[in-house]
Amino acid sequence: MLSRILYILIALTMVTAVPATSHARELIVSAAASLTDAFSDIEPAFEAQHPGVNVIMNFASSGALYRQIQQGAPVDVYASANPKWMKKAVSKGFADESAVVVFARNSLVLATPKDNPANVTSVDDLKGNGVQSIGIGTPETVPAGQYAKEALDTMELYDALTTKMIYAESVRQVLDYLSRGEVDCGFVYRTDAVKADDTVSIITEIPLKAPVSYPIASLKNAEESKLAEDFVAFVQSEAGIKLLEGRGFKKP
């Protein structure tokens, strides 16, 4: 009788232990901050097509994400808001050039808080005394800031405006500054400004030498290499494109 009870207890222990040892496969995706909404939509859609897979999203500026990869952070998929950081990932051996694909486009705009307290109507107004603070992503690490600096350099305005600039760690931080009225104006992506339509106003689109392009790639050291490739393919699929367009992104 005692041996039977022990057998039952052991069997129950084994049954209850099964769920603890079985867990979802994890796919780690590091994506530019401006992709937060779009990839938050893509995440559950991809998981629905891949039962048992848990996609872990890591959002930050493209430069900060690259540095995480450089320092050995576990990443399966990397999506950047400009080619610069993806080229670094390729040149340093973290990704194969053949695995890189541009999957979306965006545009850069000059925006203000909704009530536009500084009465900004154009980029030229940034030189006036009415504008005291300009939100911009740190050009060295934030693609939106890099695009803005290049455009302002072309207009021969960047150096003259640096004393007014409030630097941010990501384009979403600039958007937060605008939404809270903490800066007179700022440079953000159109998709971000549209998202915050109730608190932010778009003044003008900034002309760029090349459109804002988003490359994506599965990384060489991905622990889930096949899943990483599947995710990249899903982003380019009809379903993925529809979700991206729903957040204001354009096809490349």
Binding site for molybdate, by residue number, is 34, 62, 144, 171, 189
Residues comprising the binding site?
Answer: 34, 62, 144, 171, 189
The dihedral through the CA atoms of 162, 168, 169, 170 has a sign that is negative
Is the CB of residue 161 less than 8 Å from the CB of residue 189? Answer: no
Is the CB of residue 60 less than 8 Å from the CB of residue 30? Answer: yes
Q: How many CB atoms lie within 10 A of CB 249?
A: 24
- Rounded distance between C-alpha atoms, residue 94 and residue 66, angstroms: 10
Is the CB of residue 19 less than 8 Å from the CB of residue 67? Answer: no
- Rounded distance between C-alpha atoms, residue 244 and residue 235, angstroms: 8
Is the CB of residue 149 less than 8 Å from the CB of residue 155? Answer: no
Collapsed DSSP state (helix, strand, coil) of residue 205: strand
Is the CB of residue 166 less than 8 Å from the CB of residue 177? Answer: yes
- Rounded distance between C-alpha atoms, residue 142 and residue 189, angstroms: 12
